[in-house]
Chain A
Amino acid sequence: MIGLLVKSIIVGALCGFAVGAGAARMFFAPKVMAAGAFRTIGELNACMGDPVSHISFGLSYMLNSWANNIAYGGMQQDFLHRTVPNISAGLLLLKNKKVEETLYDPFKMAVMGGIVGAVCYALMNCTGSLVPSFVTDKMMEVFTPAADYLLIVMQILYLIACLDNGKHTGIWGLILGSISYLATGNACAGLILGILTGKTIEDHGYKNKVSITFIVLMVVIWGYICYARGFVGNAITAFSQLSQLFGQ
């Protein structure tokens, strides 16, 4: 328990510190490179410097993350997108109502974000033993087949996207997707890289530097994956067995 507490404080403080600094820098993008999310800056602006709305918004998403963490061991992304920036902003604005000196200041947001991140992350991790184990077991029983179906849906969505978007994305998507499916069992990676390669070729032509880089990268990556998974050996064995089946 002590180990979990100490490690949670360390990890929570690191994440919160970085997110606080990144969120404050968002107000000066694109001149200053920031690290946050579009929804974060929208919601920070929507609270309009009122500390009560910041804190209540952040707390409501924290309860959501808390429940997810207890249920299956992962809080979703809302903790870093919504909870830490908003609660840090709210706590800073309690003392000083001016946004320019608090919310737009990356140093203060980083320090407060570190404290909020450490406290909230440790709190959410150390209360996991409150839920009886049969609840989490049942949840995993429901989620595992759902996750398998979700994979099939993902592959189909990417396949539809690559076929819908033109000749080049279709060709590259189908070729790389098939290689990916036969070599690794999952077509998503090949389809995605095929879409990116095909679209780049369509927009910039075959002779462009970026396109040639992409094509070379694809050949190298998929060649290595096929070699590492023994794809060529398996294919040769399968074909020779097939020819024996047909009696030469």
Chain B
Amino acid sequence: MGKKLKDLFMQDWFFIVIMAILGAGVYTTTNMYLTYGVGTFNMVTSNIYLSERDWITMGSMGIGIYLARIMEGPMVGLIDIGGGVMVGIGTFLVAMTGMLGFEFILDNFYLSLLVGGILGLIQGSAIMLIRKLIPAGITASGSDIMMGVGHQMSAYCCPAN
């Protein structure tokens, strides 16, 4: 029984389940913050813009590291959940939701769980798809520059990061 469950949790398609569950959780932390004022996984600056509902600025803070981690994930076999999920789904996709006019999702706990799960599912499926297609094709470049900028930013702005 234990061995069967362990093998189940190691399957390739189970990664998509992991991403869906994690996406639901991280997306809903935004709802917790908007209702109770605690609980996100963001940086200080993202929370300030979230409390003012300034979606454009909040979206621009997360896009770089998100794109870089999504492109790096399938190649390395490890998606970094800091940039890929907590910044990606928790900051960037939340800001996208607000920008496109779906703010009512963020104000409702159960809708947030559902939408977060769907977004995580889409992201997990996309990553597994890219991973299956990689040996045949070539990849986009530029993620090394992204990580360099991120490194510089954390060197300059240490306390607020």
Q: Which residues of A does B touch, CB under 8 Å?
A: 4, 7-8, 10-12, 14-15, 17-19, 21-22, 24-26, 28-38, 41, 69-70, 72-77, 79-81, 105-107, 110, 121, 124-125, 128, 140, 143-144, 146-147, 150-151, 153-154, 157-158, 161, 165, 169, 180, 184-186, 188-189, 192-193, 195-196, 198-200, 202-204, 208-210, 214
**Are A199 and B42 interface neighbours, CB within 8 A?**
no
A192 touches B146 (CB 8 A): yes
Contacts of A4 in B (CB 8 A): 32, 36
**A210 and B47 in contact, given A81-B81, A189-B60 (Cβ under 8 angstroms):** no
Pick the residue among B18, B32, B46 that contacts A21 (CB under 8 A): B18
Q: Given that A106-B9, A189-B60, A195-B146 are contacting pairs, would A34 and B22 also be in contact in the complex, using a CB cutoff of 8 Å?
A: no
Q: Which residues of A contact B2 (CB under 8 A)?
A: 105, 107
A74/B77 in contact, CB under 8 A:
no
Asked if B19 and A11 sit within 8 Å, CB to CB, the answer is: no
Q: Are B149 and A22 in contact (CB under 8 A)?
A: no
User: Are A34 and B79 within 8 A (Cβ)?
Assistant: yes
Interface size on B (CB < 8 Å)?
75
Q: Which residues of chain B from 19 to 53 have a CB within 8 Å of any chain A CB? A: 19, 21-22, 24-26, 28-29, 32-33, 36-49, 51
18 inter-chain pairs at a CB distance below 8 angstroms, sorted by A residue, are: A8-B32, A11-B32, A19-B22, A24-B9, A25-B15, A28-B10, A37-B81, A73-B37, A74-B43, A106-B6, A107-B8, A125-B36, A147-B48, A150-B45, A157-B152, A188-B60, A192-B63, A204-B138
Partner of B29, one of A11, A105, A106, A150: A11
Q: Beyond A26-B78, A161-B148, list 14 extra A-B contacts (CB 8 Å).
A: A8-B32, A11-B32, A33-B77, A33-B79, A33-B131, A73-B37, A74-B40, A128-B36, A147-B160, A150-B45, A151-B57, A158-B149, A189-B59, A199-B140
Q: From the candidates B9, B38, B56, B160, name the one contacting A110 in the complex (CB within 8 A).
A: B9
B151 to chain A, nearest CB (A): 10
Chain A residues with CB below 8 A from B19, complex form: 18, 35
Interchain Cβ contacts within 8 Å, total number: 226
With a CB–CB cut-off of 8 A, which chain B residues contact A75? Answer: 39-41
Are A105 and B6 in touch, CB under 8 angstroms?
yes
Residues of B within 8 A of A208 (CB): 138
B104-131 Cβ-contact flags toward A at 8 Å (1 or 0):
0000010001000000000000011001
User: What residues of chain A lie closer than 8 Å to B12, measured between beta carbons?
Assistant: 32-33
The chain B residues found within 8 Å of chain A, CB to CB, are: 2, 5-6, 8-10, 12, 14-15, 18-19, 21-22, 24-26, 28-29, 32-33, 36-49, 51, 56-57, 59-61, 63-64, 67, 74, 76-82, 84-86, 109, 113, 127-128, 131, 137-143, 145-146, 148-149, 152-153, 156-157, 160
Interchain CB contact under 8 A, A185 and B6: no
Q: Closest CB of chain A to B87's CB: distance in Å?
A: 8
* B42 A74 Cβ-Cβ under 8 A: yes
Which of B6, B32, B157 contacts A150 (CB under 8 A)? B157
Q: Are B44 and A72 in contact (CB under 8 A)?
A: yes
In the docked arrangement, what's the CA distance between A110 and B21, Å? 12
Are A74 and B45 touching (Cβ within 8 A)? no
Report whether A153 and B153 are in contact in the complex, using a CB–CB cutoff of 8 Å: yes
User: Considering the chains assembled together, what is the distance between the CA atoms of A76 and B46 in angstroms?
Assistant: 11
Q: Known contacts A125-B36, A161-B148, A200-B140: does B160 contact A146 (CB below 8 Å)?
A: yes
Taking CB as reference atom, which chain B residue is nearest A209?
B137
